[in-house]
A and B are shown apart, each in its own frame.
Chain A
Amino acid sequence: MSCKSKNTSAGHTPGFDPKRRSFLGTMAAVAGVTLAPGVILYAITKSPSANARAADTAVSSTVRWGMLIDLNRCDNGCDDCVSACAKENGLRGFGRPDTDAQWIRKIEITNPQTGHSKSLPMMCQHCEEPPCVDVCPTGASFKRADGIVLVDKHTCIGCRYCMMACPYKARSFIHEPLEDQKPHAPRGKGTVESCTLCVHRVDANQQPACVEACSDTGGGAMLFGDLNDPDSKIAKRVARYASQQIRADLGLNPGVRYRNL
């Protein structure tokens, strides 16, 4: 399988300007200061580390969860992250690979000029500007304050616009009735789903299952952490070493970054 390089023109797609959006966001934040100074003060004084977040505290945007994947440590034949994800979230196949749920998959990319190929895990990239959220007609597709992009299946109507909008093909639609789901990963027929960054584990101060499996039995290629916390391992590593986002030209600012791509 080879993925041809089809890099479209650099820069942002016409009609989308993240700077304008962030300007509007800043204006809203300023309004927030005048309306509710106490709230903002609290947000500023709060420690950026989410590790101490209690169960009754809402997630906050002081945290931005992200992942750094070192492809030099990611073996072609290894799919420990994929099987760990399936086990953790109770994903099962129905013998229909075209439509079976897939939250993370291994893809192989080949440079057609040199024949050099790399294997990489591909999943929801947890964009800062997620197109799936933009197109969702019911608001079911949403981004949590800490940067995790999720589907609220209570409001998902299964229209699959988000699947069309996602440039990473990260989402799946559940075609079959399911039973005996994992209590921490509710999922059912007629809704769209994708990698949740193991949100139930993250909320319990644990790492996503794929990251754990990769460090236990794989090559230790995946690193998970808070990109906003300058003291976190991931923030230090992305500051020190060059890393890439896939389709960075789209201006979506994914939270998943790759090294040695």
Chain B
Amino acid sequence: MHLRHTFNKVFALLLVYLAGMVIVAHAAEDIDARAGVPFPVIPMGQGDHCVEDTDTMRRNHMNMLKHQRDETTRRGIRTVQHSLKECINCHVVNGPDAVPVTVASPQHFCRSCHDYAAVSIDCFQCHASRPGSGGLPADHKISSTLPDAPGLHGVK
């Protein structure tokens, strides 16, 4: 009687274990099924490594940029280590036409990750999002004089 009781106990435990395995296997299948979720395709930068290690960059790049922006704007310090301009130069992504893409393209380095993380940045409302000189459009027109310049506050 005692032996049979023990056997039942072991059998029950075995059943629970098997059931657990089945659930885990199903869960694994679920993960496979979600493989279609778009993970960010982060383009590689040029050169061997970034200015800091990857973990530091992922967590702190915004702080570095913010620090550098004040240093450059206010104090005229133009080191390239943490400057946005150098980020853009190094992490340039060329489009199908071999021209660097702007932040308007989802392939843009900054955008690829910020889209995924749902982080909205406004850097590129002012800053160039690709290297180069930024061209003037063909219809460029800028007047060289003020149209009415009423007296320039009494400039003699």
Contact = CB atoms under 8 A, between A and B. Distances in A.
Contact of B76 (A106, A184, A199): A199
A56 B146 contact: no
A15 interface: no
B149 interface: yes
B141 A95 contact: yes
Interface of A: 1, 3-8, 53, 55-59, 79, 82-83, 86-87, 90-93, 95, 97-98, 100-102, 105-109, 122, 142, 144-146, 150, 152-154, 167-169, 177-184, 186-189, 191, 199-200, 203-204, 246-247
B125 A177 contact: yes
B75 A97 contact: no
Contacts of A53: 76
Contact of A86 (B70, B142, B145): B142
Given A98-B147, A183-B88, A169 B73 contact: no
Contacts of B132: 183
Contacts, number: 143
A199 B147 CA distance: 28
Interface of B: 69-71, 73-80, 85, 88, 102, 104, 125-128, 131-137, 140-147, 149, 151-156
A106 B140 CA distance: 18
Given A59-B76, A168-B152, 6 more contacts: A102-B143, A145-B75, A154-B70, A183-B134, A186-B127, A187-B126
Nearest to A87: B136
Contact of B133 (A109, A182, A186): A182
B136 A92 contact: yes
Nearest to B151: A3
B142 A183 contact: no
B73 A150 contact: yes
Given A97-B147, A168-B152, A246-B155, A55 B79 contact: yes
A102 B137 CA distance: 17
A180 B102 contact: yes
Contacts of A246: 155
Contacts of A247: 153-155
